[in-house]
Amino acid sequence: MAQKQKLDCHQLEPLPLHLFIQSLGNGLSWNLSDSSAALSTLADLGVDCQLLANMPLSYAPMAGDERLRSAIASMYRDISAEEVIVFCGAQEAIFATQLAILQSGDEVVVIGPGYPTLTRTVLSMKIQFKTLEVQSDPWRFDIRQLPALLSPRTRLMVVNSPHNPTGAVLAKDDAKALCSQAEFLGIPLLSDEVGTFSHDPSAPEPMRMCEHSQQAMSLGVLSKSFGLPGIRIGWLVVRNQQWREKLMQAKGYLSICPSRLDQMVATELFSRSGPLLERNNKIRFENIASALALCKKYPLQVECSRPAAGLTGVVKLLVEDPFEHARKVAQQEQMLAFPAALFGVKGPWLRVGFGSARFPEILKRWERCLQ
C-alpha cells in the first residue's frame, strides 16, 4: 500500500519582529516605521458598496478572479492574466513558493536581507539560506559576490527591490545579471516588489523582474504602495508554466482561493489605481522631505539619506541604541519604531516609514524624543 506523504513543519519559532512588538505592550497608536502608503476607505476609492451587498458569497476561482488577474497583468508589460496567481496577501505567496520549489538539502540565496519570512522557512527541511548583504553609504546592492554564494544545491534566488527597510533599488544592469544567472542555473528568481509602485514622481520606476525573464517571479500586494492592508490581496506573476502548476498545488494546502469580497474591491481599485498611486507618491515625497529636514536639525543624534524608492528608509542613530530608542519612543509617545536589525540590517539603524498621511504628527512626536 502506498504511504501517505506528510507535510511536516517545525514547531513555529516566533518572528523577532513580532516578539519585539509584543514586548512593547498595548496602546501604541502611532507608527514611525509603517511600511504602507496612506490608508483609504471604500468611499475614498469610489467603490459601489451595492455591488458588494449583492454578491453571492461563494468560492472564487483558485488562481483568482479572471477580471482581477487581467487588471493586475495590465500593470506589467507583456504579461497575460494566465500568468498571474492571486494569493491572500504576500506572505501566503512567499510560503507557497517555498513549499512548491524547495526540498530538504536545498540552498536559497537571498540578495539583501529583508522581511524575516524571506530568509527563513517553517518547513521541516534542512534548507540553508545564504544572504548577500545590502551595502551602505549609499544604500545599494553589490552582486559581485553572488557567484561565491551559489552552489549546485542552489534552488531559489530571492531579491527584495525596492529594499525593505533601506529603500535601496537594484540597478538595471544588476537586475539583468540576476535574471541571466537564474536562466543559466534553471532556477526561479523570486523578486519581492511590493514597494515597486512607490517612487519619486520624476524618477524611473524600479525594474519589474518578470518583464525581463521567464525565470523571474514578481511578488506584489495591495498593502504597500496602494495603502490597503485591510484588503488581503497579493499576487505572483509567474511566466513559467511548470512553476505555476506547482504553486497552484501548494495553494491547495493553504487558502485554496482568495476572498470574493476582497477581489471585487481590488478589481474596482485597479480601474482607478492611477490617481491613487499619484496621491500616495505625493504624500511619500513630501514626508521624505520633512524627515530629511528634521534630521538636519539634529546632526549629533541622527543621520539619514533619501531612499531610492519604496515606502521605507533607515535613519542612523548616533547616540542611542536602536532598541533602547524604540522603547523610549513607545513609552513617551505611544509610538511604534523598528530597529532595522529586525530586518537583518546590521548597525545602529532605525526603520522609518514615509507613506502615512499622519506623518507630520508622527514627526512631531519623534522630535520630542530627539530633543
Q: For residue 11, what pLDDT is reported?
A: 60
Tell me the C-alpha distance between 201 and 346, whole Å: 30
Using DSSP, state whether 65 is helix, strand or coil.
Answer: coil
pLDDT-based confidence at residue 2 (cuts at 50, 70, 90)? very low
Q: Which of 272, 288, 310 is the last residue of a domain?
A: 272
CA dist 154 and 123 (Å) reads: 17
Question: Would you state the pLDDT for residue 90?
Answer: 97
As a whole-number percent, the residues of the chain with pLDDT over 70 amount to: 96
Burial pattern 203-235, b for ≥16 Cβ within 10 A else e, equals eeebbbbbebbbbbbbbbbbbbbbbbbebbbbb
| pLDDT for 1 | 37
The per-residue pLDDT for range 257-315, each reduced to its tens digit, is 999 999 999 999 998 999 999 999 999 999 999 999 999 999 999 999 999 999 999 99
Average pLDDT (176-187) is 96
Contact 49, 194 (CB under 8 A): no
Same domain, 345 and 201: no
Same domain, yes or no: 194 and 168: yes
221 touches 237 (CB < 8 A)? no
Q: What is the average per-residue pLDDT within 117-133?
A: 82
Q: Domain containing 357: what range?
A: 16-40+274-370
Summarize the confidence of residues 51-75 as an average pLDDT: 95
Q: How confident is the model at residue 87 (pLDDT cuts 50, 70, 90)?
A: very high
Q: Is residue 247 part of a domain?
A: yes
Sign for the CA dihedral angle at 221, 225, 228, 229 comes to: positive
Whether residues 252 and 300 share a domain: the answer is no
User: Are both 207 and 281 inside the same structural domain?
Assistant: no
**Least confident segment among 11-15, 74-78, 134-138, 152-156:** 11-15
> What are 13-56's pLDDT values in tens digits?
788 999 999 999 888 999 999 999 999 999 999 998 898 899 99
Q: Are 199 and 218 in contact (CB under 8 A)?
A: no
User: pTM of the full predicted structure?
Assistant: 0.93
